[in-house]
Amino acid sequence: ERDSDQGLWDRVSHCTRYAELFEQLDLNKDGRVDINELRTGLAARGLHRGEAEEIVQESDANRDGLLDFQEFSQYLRDQERRLRLMFHSLDRNNDGRIDVGEIQHSLHKLGMNKICGKIDCLPASMDRDGNMTIDWNEWRDYFLFNPFHNMEEIVHYWKHSHMLDIGEHLTVPDEFSERERRSGLVWRQLVAGAMAGAVSRTGTAPLDRLKVFLQVHGSSSRGINLWSGLRGMVQEGGILALWRGNGINVLKIAPESAIKFMAYEQIKWLIRGSKEGGSLRVQERFIAGSLAGATAQTIIYPMEVLKTRLTLRKTGQYSGMADCARQILKTEGVRAFYRGYLPNTLGIIPYAGIDLAVYETLKNAWLQRYCVNSADPGVLVLLGCGTVSSTCGQLASYPLALIRTRMQAQATTEGLPKLTMVGQFKYIISHEGVQGLYRGITPNFLKVIPAVSISYVVYEHMKKVLGVGY
């Protein structure tokens, strides 16, 4: 009898709670919740507005696009049943609480070893009392309006992706679940990354132009420092001369991002097959990222050549991108659009490998040592890891980048021989010494912190605008 009374009380409690939730979502008090009301309610709870469509699709029994109280209650009952099964499967010692160790053990049993290593802490928004465990109420309230059906979907929900742009290369694309691809999250994230890259590159364009100028005219510009170089550009063409070549530099971000991501997905599929579940190992991500970067560069490389020529042009030399391309084609032929391609492609490998390895190592080391109640290391830590890893990657790949730029610009440097990659290397060593291979690296380093900072801020803002963030 006591069990019967308890069951009755639980049902009454559920109905009361469901009614309160329904009343909160029913903004116009017409006894039904439409898609816009549900989106607003989810956003107010800090949840992804895109989940509203899936909830309505799953719960709308009469297909009128609205949820009445009965349909709403049925969804909550079904969702709580799924969540309770997942909660009990995680709670190995049956103490009514789950911790990080139990989550990792469950993922290991599911064969998701590559993901379980990334679950080091419990999200602070879930662990509300900060005791490093999650009880049933915290678990239920956190996932009640997220129509997940298994642990893998929940793990991908926790996963955070960042596409930072440091003015040279976009970071290796993160991995996305099938659910994220179907929802359009991937492309919204790529758009956010492209916008962030456009703003950051525009903000640091004067330093980028100075870097290219020093790379190409290194032997004849030994007395030029940072300030005198910028001042000379302004004197030659006005203040707007500092942004020469920036237009095409921004224009190529979108196709480069899209091609790199699509190539990464295909290469990842070839490496591990189409089976969903788990991240690639660091070495596999290095291979996939390097090959994806090489694929993207192969397709958009003519734009790289145009960018270098437009960056180095004198006032009145070209009327625009199309005129520049026409003149190169007319005087130098199609092959000119792929000058410097070999050192550029070779440079992707050390850059992508070292950048990725250092970034992952630093971030994971910080999480293991300092993570208290959040799996997200925070803006400053990510910024620091990105800056250090990018700097290390640039130190390794910079000589190849310098040789690439000189080969791209050969037609603009009259009097100098048109050399191959090896020839350029020998010429620089014999005429400028080893330090000549790092000509222009100072402005390149100076732009890293502002570029990453601007990119991160714009990226986070664009994620909110496009509904990428949860």
Residue 163 is assigned to a structural domain of this protein = no
Alpha helices in 26-145 (DSSP H): 35-44, 51-59, 69-90, 100-109, 113-116, 136-143
Other Cβ atoms closer than 10 A to 45 = 12
Write the CATH number for 15.
1.10.238.10
**100 lies in the same domain as 237:** no
**22 lies in the same domain as 105:** yes
Give me the tens of pLDDT residue by residue for the chain, a chain 470 residues long: 444 433 433 444 567 788 888 888 888 888 888 888 887 877 776 565 556 777 887 788 888 888 888 888 888 888 888 888 888 877 888 888 888 777 777 666 655 554 454 455 555 556 666 667 888 888 887 777 776 666 666 665 555 434 444 445 545 445 555 555 666 666 777 787 788 888 988 999 999 888 888 888 765 555 567 788 888 888 888 898 899 888 898 888 888 878 887 887 788 778 776 544 445 666 777 787 778 888 888 999 999 999 999 988 888 888 888 999 999 999 888 988 999 999 988 887 777 667 767 776 787 777 667 754 444 566 667 777 777 887 888 888 889 989 999 898 876 555 556 788 999 899 889 988 888 888 888 888 888 778 877 887 887 788 777 765 54
Report whether 164 contacts 139 (CB < 8 A). no
DSSP state of 98: E
**217 lies in the same domain as 113:** no
Is residue 192 packed enough to be buried (19+ CB in 10 Å), middle (13-18) or exposed (0-12)? buried
Residue 167 is assigned to a structural domain of this protein = no
Number of domains composing the chain: 2
Residue 170 is assigned to a structural domain of this protein = no
Report angle CA 137, 128, 375 to the nearest 5 degrees.
115
**337 lies in the same domain as 429:** yes
Q: d(Cα 115, Cα 208) in Å, to the nearest integer?
A: 38
Write the CATH number for 236.
1.50.40.10
**10 lies in the same domain as 144:** yes
Q: d(Cα 447, Cα 441) in Å, to the nearest integer?
A: 10
**246 lies in the same domain as 111:** no
Token look-up 């009614």 returns: 19
Q: Decide: pTM greater than 0.85.
A: no
Residue 26 is assigned to a structural domain of this protein = yes
**278 lies in the same domain as 418:** yes
Domain residues for 206?
178-466
**61 lies in the same domain as 134:** yes
Q: d(Cα 113, Cα 103) in Å, to the nearest integer?
A: 11
Residue 173 is assigned to a structural domain of this protein = no
**95 lies in the same domain as 232:** no
- Reduced to 3 states (helix: H, G, I; strand: E, B; else coil), residue 337 is helix
**195 lies in the same domain as 97:** no
